[in-house]
Amino acid sequence: MTIERVGIVGAGQMGNGIAHVFALAGYEVLLNDINGDALQAAIDLIDRNLTRQVDKGLIEAAAKNDAMARIGTTQTLTDLGQTDLVIEAATERETIKQAIFEDLVPHLKPDTILTSNTSSISITRLASRTDRPERFMGFHFMNPVPIMQLVELIRGIATDEPTFKACQKVVARLGKTSTASEDFPAFIVNRILMPMINEAIYTLYEGVGSVQSIDTSLKLGANHPMGPLELADFIGLDTCLAIMNVLHDGLADTKYRPCPLLTKYVEAGWLGRKTQRGFYDYRGDVPVPTR
């Protein structure tokens, strides 16, 4: 399977980062979003991030210009039909992802590989709603995509070996490292990371420590680059809650029960950095704990 043209669904935080790394690695990229403003914002952000890499001496200016020239945009989902690999990076809601694949499938080439950047949803279940479950995989990038070196590759029950090998080669060409995960709720990284974050929120909820003391303890006591509550804000509290619900529903174990305080923050619309408030308030010059 030769992959040269890549279609990306969703121009948000993950989609623009995925477009960035693919274009820089020499792939032709077609970025899709239903929102034209989101597409333009993604292109502007990719341009700024590539410029930052040039300024740091990580890439040449010519490489930046070539990468930008390889990225096209479209608001029409079916335009992605002639690409060799599609990566869905839309909102972490299964119904939305299913609708995207159902709309896209009739327009795909017979050998196009379909993938999802989902952080927790069943690959087998998503694949079953398409005409090519054997050519469907989880392709889970970490955030921020240009910086993080890991990609989780998740095989559904029907994923064939040529598809897995083709995706492995893509990850290697991107200059990243892949790990193989079986298709169980939240895969590897989030299966371990999210319960830790959830436990940190319980620690806050039960009054064991403040936001600042919890984050400082994990940064200095466990050598984590970010505290768990700071990291939750960075990821998005709605995403954290969605993944914990997938774990709780999929594994039926009470240890994955989302903390009520996490639910309350999401109900309030305090989702972290993207809404300027979460466990920290980001509206001033310096983030201030909200509890």
Structure tokens at 118: 């989902």
pLDDT confidence bin for 237, thresholds 50/70/90: very high
Residue-level pLDDT at 10: 96
Cα distances (angstroms) measured from residue 108 to each of 86, 103, 214: 9, 10, 49
Cα distances (angstroms) measured from residue 286 to each of 126, 282, 291: 41, 7, 15
Entry pTM: 0.89
Please report, for the domain that includes residue 248, its CATH number.
1.10.1040.10
Percent of the chain with pLDDT over 90: 96
Query: Does 280 share its domain with 171?
Result: no
Query: Does 16 share its domain with 142?
Result: yes
Query: Does 168 share its domain with 276?
Result: no
What is the count of structural domains for the chain?
Answer: 2
Long-range contacts of 197-203 (CB under 8 A, 24+ apart): 197/228, 197/229, 197/231, 197/232, 197/235, 197/240, 198/240, 198/244, 198/256, 198/258, 198/259, 198/262, 200/227, 200/228, 200/229, 200/232, 201/228, 201/229, 201/232, 201/259, 201/261, 201/262, 202/259, 202/261
Q: What is the mean pLDDT of residues 91-113?
A: 94
Of 151, 182, 213, the position where a domain reaches its end is 182
Q: What is the mean pLDDT of residues 82-94?
A: 93
Q: What is the mean pLDDT of residues 144-163?
A: 96
Q: What is the mean pLDDT of residues 261-286?
A: 97
What does the mean pLDDT of the chain come to? 96
Query: Does 174 share its domain with 203?
Result: no
Query: Does 176 share its domain with 194?
Result: no
Please report, for the domain that includes residue 167, its CATH number.
3.40.50.720
Residue-level pLDDT at 123: 96
User: Which residues are catalytic, by number?
Assistant: 119, 140, 152, 190
Query: Does 103 share its domain with 150?
Result: yes
What number of other Cβ atoms are within 10 A of residue 182's Cβ?
Answer: 11
Query: Does 27 share its domain with 135?
Result: yes
Q: Please check the confidence at residue 22 and state whether its pLDDT lies above 80.
A: yes
The per-residue pLDDT for range 178-214, each reduced to its tens digit, is 999 999 999 999 999 999 999 999 999 999 999 999 9
Residue-level pLDDT at 152: 97
Q: Please check the confidence at residue 119 and state whether its pLDDT lies above 90.
A: no
Residue-level pLDDT at 95: 93
Residue-level pLDDT at 93: 86
Query: Does 254 share its domain with 284?
Result: yes
Question: Helices (DSSP H) in the chain: which residue ranges?
Answer: 13-24, 36-55, 61-69, 94-104, 123-128, 161-173, 189-205, 211-221, 228-235, 237-251, 260-268
pLDDT confidence bin for 1, thresholds 50/70/90: confident
Query: Does 98 share its domain with 201?
Result: no
Query: Does 277 share its domain with 141?
Result: no
What is the span of the domain harbouring residue 252? 190-289
Residue 87: DSSP 8-state: E
Q: What is the mean pLDDT of residues 19-44?
A: 97
Of 182, 209, 239, the position where a domain reaches its end is 182
Q: What is the mean pLDDT of residues 12-35?
A: 96
Of 182, 216, 251, the position where a domain reaches its end is 182
Residue-level pLDDT at 236: 94
Query: Does 30 share its domain with 55?
Result: yes
Query: Does 195 share its domain with 170?
Result: no
